Amino acid sequence: MSRATALPEVRIETARLLLRPADRADIDILVGEISDFEVSKMLARVPYPYRRRDAEAFLASAGAAWAGDLPLAITLDDRLIGGIGLSGVRREHEFGYWLGRSHWGQGYATEAGHAFLAYVFDAFDPDIVRSGVFVGNAASLRVQEKLGFEPVGTRKVHCLARGRRLEHIDTILTRERFAALQR
């Protein structure tokens, strides 16, 4: 497992997308896309409303000494359309992602997820990556199924945007399953 102390400069290209670190030029689009309640209500750690100061704090924490999280912007023609990342690179390996609503249903989350997870399994060598969705987020659960994640249980998880604990479906993806699906 990597023990780097600085955030890796990661750039991952797919057929249509570029996954790269977000920067200050992305702030207005980031705020516009994620401040949509239909987006933020499905994310555990995003407040609603999402304001410019939230985006600035996010960028500052992402640029600080690497604490083991790997957040990347999902971009289309160099315009931010979402985010993808791994929290707890050195511990839990928790995968998450989001897309702005106008980009739903076009396969971007699955495309970005495949490329990002290939990078994660190669660079950090985890045995298991964890993720999950709030109950009612069938589209995101379908993305995870396409990526190879399997449900392993449910629990209550606090959602900042909704201000309460919600039922959450926990999922996992093993290295072996991911590799088998790539063949």
Residue 29 has pLDDT above 70, yes or no: yes
More confident residue, 65 or 131: 131
Q: Is residue 9 part of a domain?
A: no
For 71-104, how does the pLDDT look when each residue is reduced to its tens digit (9 = 90+)?
999 999 999 999 999 988 767 799 999 999 999 9
Tell me the CATH number at 92: 3.40.630.30
Query: Could you tell me the residue range of the domain that residue 53 belongs to?
Result: 14-182
Q: Does a cis peptide bond (omega within 30 degrees of 0) precede residue 47?
A: no
Residue 164 lies in a domain: yes
Where does residue 128 rank: exposed (0-12), middle (13-18), buried (19+ CB within 10 A)? Answer: middle
DSSP 179: H
**Residue 81 covered by a domain:** yes
Residue type, 79: R
* Tally of structural domains, the chain: 1
| pLDDT top residue among 124 and 96 | 96
The answer to whether residue 128 is domain-embedded is yes
Tokens standing for 35? 């401040």
**Is 7 part of any domain?**
no
